[in-house]
Structure 1
């Protein structure tokens, strides 16, 4: 029987755009598609799993999503992009507050993935040396 793979991620500590990007991508991976649901091969993350816990789960996932916005602010992103990212987190939080519907919506509306798309576009434009190819 094969042992389960562990996520081997070394998180950089620096404030340079490459380090911040790697930290943010690791958090997005964990929140949005860090685990596979056995049998149906559907990827879910902590956002959907922890969101099942009433109130506390939504607060925790909102704080983790807000951390991504805070890191984006540290990158010097324009305020309108930060507001857009904050709006994604707020919409996800509002959806999550609705019993049952919010839990189902967590599987479909992935605010952290949307926010990382905004960050990647910004970094690819303003820091082209850190550019990665999206799959």
Structure 2
């Protein structure tokens, strides 16, 4: 198979469009990567890159904040209000400040999921202003 066919299929899967449905999918994947990458056995609690990056003092916190800031930037491109943007930026900022505490900063980050909260704010906006972008989750039922 030619390499261009492979990249075309990959681009179709990623959906790098600017339409609200593509933005929703991108942000859901980013939130899953940052907050729910895998589940810790025994306690059944999901963690993602946001907690893992907190283990690296300084650089990890900045990296997680930049990734959280990208979610806020995508929300800005959707035309969300200044109040919503400030709230989301506050979530990312609070998460960043908590993570600055060396080693111990991962513990509050384990419970305070700024990217999940920001995704909920964005989904409410999308559901209100772009209802056609909603994705119905669950199983199809055949009768």
Same fold per superposition (TM over 0.5): yes
Q: Provide the C-alpha distance between the structure 2 equivalents of 1:88 and 1:133, rounded to a whole number of angstroms.
A: 27
Aligned equivalent of 1:125: 128
State the shift of 1:131 in Å. 2.1
Aligned equivalent of 1:20: 23
Q: Provide the C-alpha distance between the structure 2 equivalents of 1:74 and 1:11, rounded to a whole number of angstroms.
A: 18
Higher mean alpha-carbon deviation, 51-60 vs 96-105, is at 96-105
Q: Deviations over 1:15-56 (max 9, x none)?
A: 000001100110000000111223433210000011111001
Higher mean alpha-carbon deviation, 41-50 vs 15-24, is at 41-50
Look at both structures and tell me which one has the larger radius of gyration over its CA atoms.
2
Matched residue SS, 2:105: helix
TM-score, normalization: structure 1? 0.87
Aligned equivalent of 1:102: 105
State the shift of 1:101 in Å. 3.4
Uncovered stretches (5+) of structure 1, i.e. residues with no partner:
1-9
Q: Deviations over 1:82-106 (max 9, x none)?
A: 1110000000000001134311011
- The answer to whether the 8 A contact 2:92-2:115 is kept is yes
RMSD: 1.8
Q: Provide the C-alpha distance between the structure 1 equivalents of 2:48 and 2:88, rounded to a whole number of angstroms.
A: 19
TM-score, normalization: structure 2? 0.83
Q: Provide the C-alpha distance between the structure 1 equivalents of 2:75 and 2:44, rounded to a whole number of angstroms.
A: 31
Aligned equivalent of 2:118: 115
Report the count of equivalent residues.
Answer: 127
Q: Deviations over 1:100-131 (max 9, x none)?
A: 43110110000000000000000000011112
Q: Provide the C-alpha distance between the structure 2 equivalents of 1:61 and 1:134, rounded to a whole number of angstroms.
A: 28
Q: Provide the C-alpha distance between the structure 1 equivalents of 2:35 and 2:74, rounded to a whole number of angstroms.
A: 17
